[in-house]
Amino acid sequence: MSKRSLAARAESWPIKGSFRISRGAKTTAEVIIVEITEGQVTGRGECVPYARYGESIRSVLGQISSVRAFVADELTRDGLLTVLPPGAARNAIDCALWDLEAKLTGNSVAKIAGIRAPGPVVTAYTLSLDTPERMGEAAKAEQHRPLLKLKLGGAGDLERVAAVRASAPRARLIVDANEAWDADMMVDYCPRMADFGVELIEQPLPAGDDAILGDIDRPVPICADESAHDTATLNEVAALYDFINIKLDKTGGLTEALLLAEAARGYGLGVMVGCMLGTSLGMAPALYLSSFARFIDLDGPLLLEKDRENGLTFDGSILHPPTSALWG
């Protein structure tokens, strides 16, 4: 009999109200949980299949199932990089392997990885795309938070940011257009974003249609999200962007994310650590990138009706490291 077994299942977590970006809205967070068991010890990982990258619950479960025999033969994290491409499936398996090793050895993930253990960090709090009036109202309710992230959608974005700034005058702001701007908007909007005190503009242009960034003045730093996935894409990204948003569901897990964060530093790129909309189990591994990052955006659990048991502790926008009961 094999020493290790792999199990995977889909879960649905209700969102508070709805969550809207330029590509649409959702009312639930759809996640997949992977559990890898050796003896009496189980390691867990969570991923979020993302349609923007051609993923679905069904396709990701199929990818996970395809490596069951490799996991039974004690597939390593480095080996996993060669049998699955970057994406949600590899992320859940990779994070489960990290968690399993930590529990089997009694060592923290930080010690295993040879990195600094995460401490409390400030996370951004995301305001969904909406009308300027409603985003202003949402900002007023959250004006006590030190860092707000605004989901934008193209036309009307200046009015949206103006409404938020008026309602939350002391909050730091970052904005995320999710590929909704065009070249003319870039030229028009960027100086105004600087006037509003915006500190970062995330993925303004469609991935693959962002070459013009090399020729546009940028009073506000530009961050790659959909344009940046793993170390293989870093060289072309570095010529156009100032920051990259590292998400484990894009890199395919913490193993590749750590490599990407270190490589980004070598290119002089700033780092933002981001997330898909999921539970604390999906956020916990990403916290181990915090020492590389200027911006942390791991507010997924705050946007849900409820989080899973033993979830991360939030003190307002202060996010505390996970306990071993959750992960690592």
Considering 103, 149, 247, 250, which one is annotated as catalytic? 247
Longest dimension (CA), the chain: 64
The conformational region for residue 279 under phi > 0 = left, psi -120 to 50 = alpha, else beta, is: beta
Based on the residue annotation, tell me whether 247 is a catalytic residue of this protein. Answer: yes
Q: How far apart are CA 110 and CA 151, in angstroms?
A: 32
Produce one character per residue of 171-201: b if its CB has 16 or more CB atoms within 10 Å, e if not: bbbbbbbbbbbeeebbeebbeebeebebebb
DSSP state of 304: B
The rounded Cα 27 to chain-centroid distance in angstroms is 18
CB 147 within 8 Å of CB 174: yes
Based on the residue annotation, tell me whether 151 is a catalytic residue of this protein. Answer: yes
Count CB atoms within 10 A of the CB of residue 52: 11
| Close Cβ partners of 176 (under 8 Å, ≥ 6 residues apart) | 21, 149, 150, 151, 152, 202, 203, 225
Count CB atoms within 10 A of the CB of residue 38: 17
CB 164 within 8 Å of CB 185: no
Considering 16, 103, 111, 151, which one is annotated as catalytic? 151
Give catalytic residue positions. Answer: 151, 247
